[in-house]
Amino acid sequence: MTKYFGTDGIRGEYQNSVVREDFFEKLSTAVYTYLKNSLKIEKPVIVIGGDTRFSRESLTDAFCKNLGNSIVYDLKTAPTPAIAFAVKHFNADLGVVITASHNPFTDNGIKFFDKNAFKISDSAQEKIEEFIDSNLPETSFSGELSAPNILEKYIEKMCSLLPANALANMDISLDCANGATYLTSPKVLEKLGAKVNCIGVSPDGKNINDKVGSECPENLSKFCLENSSDIAIAHDGDGDRLLICDSTGTPFAGEEILGLIAMSDSSSKNLGIVTTIQSNTGLDASLAKHFIKVFRCGVGDRLVSQSMQENKCIIGGENSGHYIFSDISPCGDGLAGAIKFLSFYIKNKDSLSDLRKHIKLFPTLSKAIKIKNKIPIEGTKNLSKAILECEKNLVGKGRTLVRYSGTENKIRLLVEAQDSESTAKYMNILEQAVENDLQ
């Protein structure tokens, strides 16, 4: 259990948590010490950048303050996947991203990539935390600092994923969330021949993710209809998420996007794909018809990436909109996901709305129920038996997920089944057991 790091780096409200300049200076010393002492790197090469939040610049300056004799490439504003790309481009030892992803501008944070552009390991995080709390003397910056323009290289790579003018005659609505992708995604789509209508491309430091971006599907839907677009695409503030709407303004579920991309990629038929325990099991059933295996892991793109390595999969993703393609990068990339989806779309004669028929998601019910006590689930009299009964009947046809809330006196129930009647039936069985044991 880490003290400062969460599921995706360190994140919190700017100045009201550890996301402060003084803490980032301590973190800088700890990271430099980790690179020098633990990894035995004589002169570390570090790439740093972040999204469009007003606090990014001062937090970057604070983090760079104690990087000793490092060579530092400051990319300024850049999407998270472009920073991962730069790590490989510069053969860097570490990538640093100043971002709070899809959170509001009042938050910020920091996450790290290793030399292979993977999120750093749990053991690396634990070692850095040890150094943070060791009150080490400052390791004042005495190295080299430069600000290269790497985004054009990243744009070139993204354009190379499709043939020239592959998107000619296509009308695309694009929402960049007033985040870092305003510098990259419009250019890539236009270079590939599309007519692009944009919103969320005027960042002012405080409007990132503000009623725009992948967390606001209703906004993207409206914009798509206003422009009579063929397709609508949205990212979050740092560019590692993707939301897609069809021409009717109807958003695709994350599982639908992942499933359709998997169906179009020959590697998935041989190796399978990875998703998390939160994804709808209708995805598994739909892909099984195409002989595509689905591996599941815990929540978070870092765990998805790890499972992809373990299972030798090239495609992985979460229903939240994170998609990873290891033939492109080990980092989630909303633009790469959009291009992969567009590639599938232009190869098929079906309309986008018709493509949905290939991925049939199961009806889902979820409830959060207040309880008196959190008895270990395996020790309950009725609930443990009810879970076993449901799971036995739902093998290959759905699932249940039962867990306690980590912050409230509640138990969370999720049921998926092939039809609404079965979903309601098994939810009722679980609810009755909760009432008998926990209320």
pLDDT tens sequence across 181-205: 999 999 999 999 999 999 999 999 9
Identity of residue 68 = G
207 Cβ contact list (under 8 Å, min separation 6): 105, 178
CA distance 230 to 221: 12
From-to residues of CATH 3.30.310.50 in the chain: 364-438
Residues in the chain: 439
Q: How many CB atoms lie within 10 A of CB 238?
A: 34
* CATH classification code of 150-251: 3.40.120.10
Q: Which class is domain 364-438?
A: alpha beta
Count helices and strands (H / E) in the chain: 15, 17
Q: Please report the sign of the dihedral spanned by the C-alpha atoms of residue 266, residue 271, residue 275, residue 277.
A: positive
pLDDT tens-place string over residues 359-399: 999 999 999 999 988 999 999 999 999 999 999 999 888 99
Q: CATH 3.40.120.10 spans which residues of the chain? A: 10-149, 150-251, 252-361
- What's the pTM? 0.90
Q: In this structure, what token pair is assigned to residue 103?
A: 């959170």
In 3D space, the residue among 247, 281, 318, 256 whose CA is nearest the CA of residue 394 turns out to be 281
- Each residue's pLDDT, cut to its tens digit, for the chain (439 residues) gives 578 998 889 999 999 889 999 999 999 999 999 999 999 999 999 999 999 999 999 999 999 999 999 999 999 999 999 999 999 999 999 999 999 999 999 999 999 999 999 999 999 999 999 999 998 999 999 999 999 999 999 999 999 999 999 999 899 999 999 999 999 999 999 999 999 999 999 999 999 999 999 999 999 999 999 999 999 999 999 999 999 999 999 999 999 999 999 998 888 888 999 999 889 999 999 999 999 999 999 888 889 999 999 999 999 999 999 999 999 999 999 999 999 999 989 888 677 878 888 999 999 999 999 998 899 999 999 999 999 999 999 988 899 999 988 768 899 999 999 999 999 999 999 999 999 999 8
Give the alpha-carbon dihedral of 88, 326, 215, 199, to 10 degrees.
60
CATH of 10-149, one of 1.10.10.10, 2.60.40.150, 3.10.580.10, 3.40.120.10: 3.40.120.10
3-class secondary-structure state, position 308: helix
Which are the catalytic amino acids? 101
- Three-class secondary structure of residue 169 per DSSP: coil
Identify the residue whose tokens are 């929402």: 175
